[in-house]
């Protein structure tokens, strides 16, 4: 299952919320605004309101991308998230390099507030790195 990311109100950690994002037609999805406890500090997390729309845009891009484009994009996401924090400059560099099927994803990444950078990139990595059956072990 792919879960919507939650952002901890206390420590800022991004973690799977337990709120399912439908990956296939007919799969149920639901929506609530909070999740937790945070695996890092035990606090409550907020599920951003952009999650389901952003997921739909990214899923459409994934369907249009070649396996090589997906692998390259996934590597770039892993690199961004391996750093201690994703700055606006780094995200701008990543989005400037996105073309082809990733144009709509890049546009959505640029439209969102800086406080949601890590959550957006984490959701993308969950989607592209391991496919729909991800992160049950993280719960």
Residue 136 confidence class, pLDDT cut points 50, 70, 90: very low
Pairing relation of β-strands 14-21 and 45-46? unpaired
- In this structure, the chain runs to a length of 139
Q: Where are the alpha helices (DSSP H) in 28-66?
A: 51-64
| ω into 37 cis (within 30 of 0) | yes
Q: Return the structure tokens found at 17.
A: 């919320």
Would you say residue 22 has pLDDT above 70?
no
Q: For the whole model, what pTM was predicted?
A: 0.79
Distance linking the first and last C-alpha atoms of the chain: 11
φ/ψ bin of 106: left (φ > 0), alpha (ψ from -120 to 50), beta (otherwise): alpha
Convert the pLDDT of each residue in 56-108 to its tens digit: 999 999 999 999 999 999 998 888 888 756 566 666 777 778 888 999 998 88
């Amino acid at each position: 299952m792919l879960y919507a990311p939650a952002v901890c109100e206390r420590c800022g950690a991004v973690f799977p919320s337990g709120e399912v994002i439908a990956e296939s037609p007919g799969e149920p999805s639901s929506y609530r605004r909070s999740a937790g406890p945070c695996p890092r500090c035990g606090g409550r997390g907020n599920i951003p309101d952009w999650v389901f729309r952003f997921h739909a845009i990214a899923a459409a891009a994934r369907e249009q991308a070649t396996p090589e484009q997906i692998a390259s994009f996934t590597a770039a996401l892993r690199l961004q998230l391996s750093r201690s924090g994703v700055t606006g400059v780094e995200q701008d560099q990543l989005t400037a390099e996105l073309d082809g099927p990733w144009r709509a994803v890049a546009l959505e990444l640029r439209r969102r507030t800086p406080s949601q950078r890590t959550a957006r990139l984490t959701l993308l990595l969950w989607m592209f790195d391991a496919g729909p059956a991800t992160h049950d072990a993280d719960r």
